[in-house]
Amino acid sequence: MPSVLVVEDDPSIRQSLIEVLAEQGYAVRSAPDGFGALREVTQAPVDAVVLDLGLPDLDGGDALRMIRGISSVPVLVATARDDESEIINILNAGADDYLVKPFSGGQLLARLSAVLRRTGGAPPASTGAAVGAAPAQAGEPLRPTVVGELAVDPGARTVHLAGQELRLTRREFDLLAFLAHHTGQVVSKRRLLTEVWREPYVDDQTVDVHLSSLRRKLGERASAPRYLLTVRGVGIKLVAPR
């Protein structure tokens, strides 16, 4: 799973970028400022960086130069600045591509995939609905599970809620199937990252994004859960609605 660091100070934009990337199979970490980005790049390598220029602590161009001083990681600049001279300067400073806001999620994904291909990396192998691939976790085969009106069939890779089939991404399905296999048990985010993502050092936010998407598709909210119950400070468990 390719990993991406999103550097964006606006919380709503940052969350949108995280959701778009996570939905397509990227392991996502994030930082709200330049020094946070430098810490992230220093502490653990990533496959690409999506960098805003309007950061609160230092200019994104300076952040780019500092990143280039310690890493050759591909950097896709995503910013509202559209001045031609600035674009040229940023590309000359080491950016691998430049994307001007506003832009669509599709354009971001296409540019990022192109950057990864050019620099020897690879985009996620699968970006569609949860069909045709084996569950990510190893171990004994997972059996069909029925929890309340929710039916999860790992063999057929289908999920039905009250008789209606849900369209899940590959990762959403793998996450739900793992929780269904451990119905009623609290599963930590670290365990989910290790056994579903196979990426124990990825940011917990990756799990949060997928759980949020699953909740929407299950017709619930974190503040009013039905199936996905958060045990604060411990983890998440799948339960039958009361």
Q: What is the pLDDT of residue 7?
A: 95
Where are any strands of DSSP class E within the chain? 3-7, 27-31, 48-51, 75-79, 97-100, 145-147, 150-153, 158-161, 164-165, 228-231, 235-238
This model's pTM is above 0.75: no
pLDDT in tens, 109-148: 989 999 998 877 767 654 433 322 333 343 444 578 899 9
Provide φ and ψ at 162, rounded to 5°: 55, 40
* Nearest to 25, CA basis, from 53, 4, 40: 4
User: What separation, in Å, do the N-terminal and C-terminal C-alpha atoms of the chain show?
Assistant: 37
pLDDT band at 47 (very low <50, low <70, confident <90, very high): very high
Segment 173-194 mean pLDDT:
88
The number of angstroms, rounded, from the C-alpha of 4 to the middle of its chain's C-alpha atoms is 8
In this structure, how many other beta carbons lie within 10 angstroms of the beta carbon of residue 113? 18
